[in-house]
Structure 1
Amino acid sequence: MDHTRGGPVDDDTIIDNSAPVRLFNDVYWSRTTPPTTHNSRWAPFPRLPTELRLHIWLLFLRQHRMIELQLYVDVDEDGQSRRYTDCNGLGRVVSGRDYTVEIGGRAYAASLSPLLWVNREARQATLSFYRVHLPFPRYDGGRVLYLNPEYDVVCIGPRAQGFSLAPVPTERIHRLNPLPDFLHDVRAHDPRDQGVLHLAMKSKDIALFNTERGIYQPPFLPTDLHPAAAKSFTDILRYRLRSVLCIVGFRTRVRGIGEPPPGYPFHFAQTFPLRRRGRPVGGLRWFDTDPRWGVEFDLKHVPLRGDPRPYARAWEELEQAFGVSDRLRDFHFYICPTMKWPTHFMFLKPSESSSPIEEGSREELAWHLQEEQVQWRKYREELHQNLWSKLPGFEDQPMMPRHGPLVDAETFARMESAPSTAIGMWLFPPEAFKEPTRVVQSVFDLSAVRPGLFLFEV
């Protein structure tokens, strides 16, 4: 598949990984670079009415973002004596929890809107739009997380850090989880008293696997929390949260599915969404239904890293543990598959050298897409050599074409030229996952449901 030029290629064609990568994301974000010279500024803009200028600022600001945060708490952290006693500038009680908020790499700067530095009017409009101003603990106010709860999806990874010779008991890990305190603090810094409305977490952070009981369970219980934290978290579950997104991975890192009989027919799933990498902060388009053409072909066989159904049950058990049996607002829990793809260094031999390539960049993505094609051809060659060529009457059978047996060549080419490759993740309701078609490999037929789509700006 030629993601670099937009049309079908022959099996022997070598894809040029230095050519521009074409993505479905580009349909919704312009790839043009805005002019940066002084002379390119539109001089009449300051003479527009104030209301119109403010409307233009808001048009720029009103877009969904997903912000990936790491919350670190020291494993040696002790008592709760000073928690939930101090107030912030809004007169709200804050958690006082000694945790660290981190946005990976240089992404903190990316979380700040460029309008903060345009002029006083634009800055004021930005600070008003991102009404939550949460100081980063341990940074003495040097960093502030600016959020708009209606537009921002906050993806959180709670982590414990610190040096310990002895393993940390499971019940202590429960008590160390800073998620309830963080959610409380965001709400305490929200003038509207809402806080995080859209929460995303990886599957391993939503539930813990109990090897003795053989089930998934909530990551913490009310007894693991400070009493004020438990009360606040209960209120957030019942009244505040609008959506929780459980991020799960595909079983493979390439979209070519090559499983010999009696497995699923060989297929290249062009619409499997690829994970966003290298950009913990960025804009997204939230589609209620995936608009890409050809999704229905790929939903018939979705191989995941594990059965995602227990995660929804673990979240329900979490709500029940906090006494939330009746939500007083619309709420959605989503299972969100996205495919993790490797760095380009995994494709190089030890003797090969390469100039630095930014993680998650289009250049690195080009390496991955080329490797996908190499792997897809290898799958088909192995099928031909090890199976078809050994069956009587099939000796002269040509190798399976790139489009595979489930999609005709014209349809496959149309999906390529669209293009169908997207950096994003699907959003499925838990009820979309019936019994897996292949239990051991966690393969699901999801063709009865058209998923939503997060499409990231790249």
Structure 2
Amino acid sequence: MATLVATNGERHCAIVSGHQVLSKLLRVNCESREAALEFYRVHIPCRFQGLGDVKETTTTPGTLYFNPEYDFLKIRPQYHVKDTWIDFIYHLKNTYDPHRIGLLNLAASVNDLNGNDMHLVEPSDVDPVARKAFTDTLSQLHEVFFLSKTGQGRQILGWQSGITSDTILNRSFPIVPKTPTFERLGRDPRPIAEDLKNVVVHERGAVITFWRELLIKWAVSAPQIEYHFYLTFEPLHVGKGIHDHKSASAWLRKEDDVWRGVESSRDQDPKEDTTSDFYRAWRKLNIKRPVGAKHEKYKNENLETAVKPAFGFWLFPLAALDRDDESKMLDMSEFWPELALSDLP
């Protein structure tokens, strides 16, 4: 979010990123569009970032269609939060939503809660009307996802991982694409018991601490909120990312090539910057990656019975994080997660 004077007196400008953020029903015909606009009753003026083939740094004006009872919002406020986050919440509730409800389901990361000046804002310094909209919104939330995305955890190749000296392939770790829509399946139906014994978690306790401090500071009591720990694997250096079946399949093939030690350029992202200083320095080191498929544990692996990959994320109860262990490798087998599958066109 960035500050910008808008037509309804907003001091914020909502920047929306992601692929396929608008329902296809809006483009089918007049009848489907009318039904979609009724369902997505909250119409948020915004700027879309990296829409279609446009560069990520380019924004296009538009409208985000939103259903508070159905959708989750991930809000990353910039400085100053009185003009971004708090102002957005006020207008979401009182300007954009004809039912005057606003936000019911929130997804939040450490940076969302602490990567701004929220900790410096005193509630008494906020306009009373905006303050009430903000605290009322926090008080009415139904669900909150605490986000943790990691670029490690599927292939752990010994000491180079910085986590363990062991070699581990966690095929069940969900992979997050760029698409925002998902379906919650309930308990993960895959045979993931062994993989749950070795789950990489980088961010866990801090986001919960910041959230609790936020509620205390703003004198909000919301015992009805249902909390989940959102955990997923986020691929690094994949250009525009995974956004459809084709890019998902290409990424899996590339991952398999790395695991088997196959040097292949068939899936190389044409937009990968091979002229960067980082890339040249890495190539100059000429460090050979261990070949995971040749490890004693995996060289006779039966791929027919291996756990199938999932694109989406896991949802764990917060009790899964209630431990003193500071290790990044956790045994989560006591807390079988819910699986959410992302929609891939």
The answer, yes or no, to whether TM exceeds 0.5 is yes
2:328 corresponds to which residue?
A: 442
Deviations along 1:260-280, one digit per CA (max 9) or x if unpaired, are: 9x9474321111111213x4x
Contact 2:167 2:292 (8 Å CA) reproduced:
no
- Residue from 220, 231, 234 that aligns with 1:340: 234
Which residue of the partner structure matches residue 352 of structure 1? none
Distance 1:209 1:122 in 2: 40
**Paired position in structure 2 for 1:270:** 171
Q: Is the 8 A contact 2:110 2:206 kept in 1?
A: no
1:124-273 alignment to 2 at 5 Å? 124-136=34-46, 143-160=62-79, 173-175=80-82, 178-188=84-94, 189-207=96-114, 220-223=121-124, 225-239=126-140, 241-250=141-150, 252=152, 254-256=154-156, 258-259=158-159, 263=164, 265-273=166-174
Instruction: In structure 1, list runs of 5 or more residues that go unmatched.
Output: 1-70, 78-82, 87-93, 161-172, 211-216, 346-357, 383-397
- 1:251, 1:304 within 8 Å by CA — same for their partners in 2? no
Q: For the structure 1 residues 137 and 270, does the alpha-carbon distance in structure 2 shift closer, same or farther, using more than 3 Å as the test?
A: closer
Pair 1:264–1:124, CA change in 2 (3 A): same
Report sequence identity in percent: 25
Ranked by relative contact order (alpha carbons within 8 Å, sequence separation 6 or more), the top structure is 1
Q: Secondary structure at the match of 1:97?
A: coil
Shift of 1:455: 1.2
The answer (yes or no) to whether the contact 1:436–1:445 under 8 Å persists in 2 is no
What SS does the corresponding residue of 1:415 show, helix, strand or coil? coil
Write the distance in 2 (CA, Å) between the matches of 1:209 and 1:98: 16
C-alpha distance in structure 2 between counterparts of 1:452 and 1:224, whole Å: 41
Tell me, in whole angstroms, the C-alpha distance in 1 between the residues paired with 2:317 and 2:138.
18
Instruction: Quote the residue 2:241 is aligned against.
Output: 359
Alpha carbons 1:434, 1:444 under 8 Å: kept: no
Alpha-carbon deviations, 1:304-359, whole Å to 9, x = none? 224x11311221121111111354xx3122221211212357xxxxxxxxxxxx53
Name 1:300's counterpart in structure 2: 197
Render the CA deviation track for 1:375-416: whole Å, top value 9, x for unaligned.
69944679xxxxxxxxxxxxxxx951427xxxx945x64134
Question: Partners of 1:263 and 1:143 in 2: how far apart?
Answer: 47
Q: What amino acid sits opposite 1:451 in the alignment?
A: P
Q: Counterpart in 1 of 2:22?
A: 112
C-alpha spacing 1:331/1:287, structure 2 compared with 1 (3 Å): farther
**2:259 alignment partner, one of 360, 364, 373:** 373
In 1, the alpha carbon distance for the partners of 2:114 and 2:261 equals 34
Alpha carbons of structure 1 residues 274 and 118: separation in structure 2 relative to 1, 3 Å: closer
Counterpart CA distance in 2 for 1:426 and 1:359 is 19
Superposed CA offset, 1:203-241 (max 9, x none): 22123599xxxxxx95855246333222111111112x1
Alignment partner of 1:72 is 2:2: yes
Question: Given the superposition, is the C-alpha separation of residues 101 and 326 from structure 1 closer, same or farther in structure 2, using an over 3 Å criterion?
Answer: closer
User: Measured at CA, do residues 370 and 266 of structure 1 come closer, stay the same or move farther in structure 2, by a change above 3 Å?
Assistant: closer
Preserved CA contact (<8 Å) 2:109 2:207: no
* 2:310 alignment partner, SS class: coil
> Which residue matches 2:279?
none
Number of aligned positions between the proteins: 301
1:102 is aligned to 2:32: no
Letter in 2 for 1:311: V
Question: Partner residue of 2:214?
Answer: 318
Does 1:285 pair with 2:183? Answer: yes
Residues 104-162 of structure 1: per-residue CA shift (max 9 Å, x gap): 37x4xx33333334333222211111111223389xx96222111222122222235xx
TM-score by length of 2: 0.73
Could you report, residue by residue, the CA deviation over 1:153-193 in whole angstroms, capped at 9, with x for unpaired residues? 22222235xxxxxxxxxxxx4545x2222222222222322
Equivalent-residue separation in structure 2 for 1:234 and 1:381 (angstroms): 50
Paired amino acid for 1:430: L
Shift of residue 432, structure 1, vs aligned partner: 1.0
| Stretch of structure 1 that moved more, 447-456 or 181-190 | 181-190
Q: Which amino acid letter does the alignment assign opposite residue 62 of structure 2?
A: R
- In 2, are the aligned partners of 1:272 and 1:338 still within 8 Å (CA)? yes
* Residue 342 of structure 2: aligned partner: 456
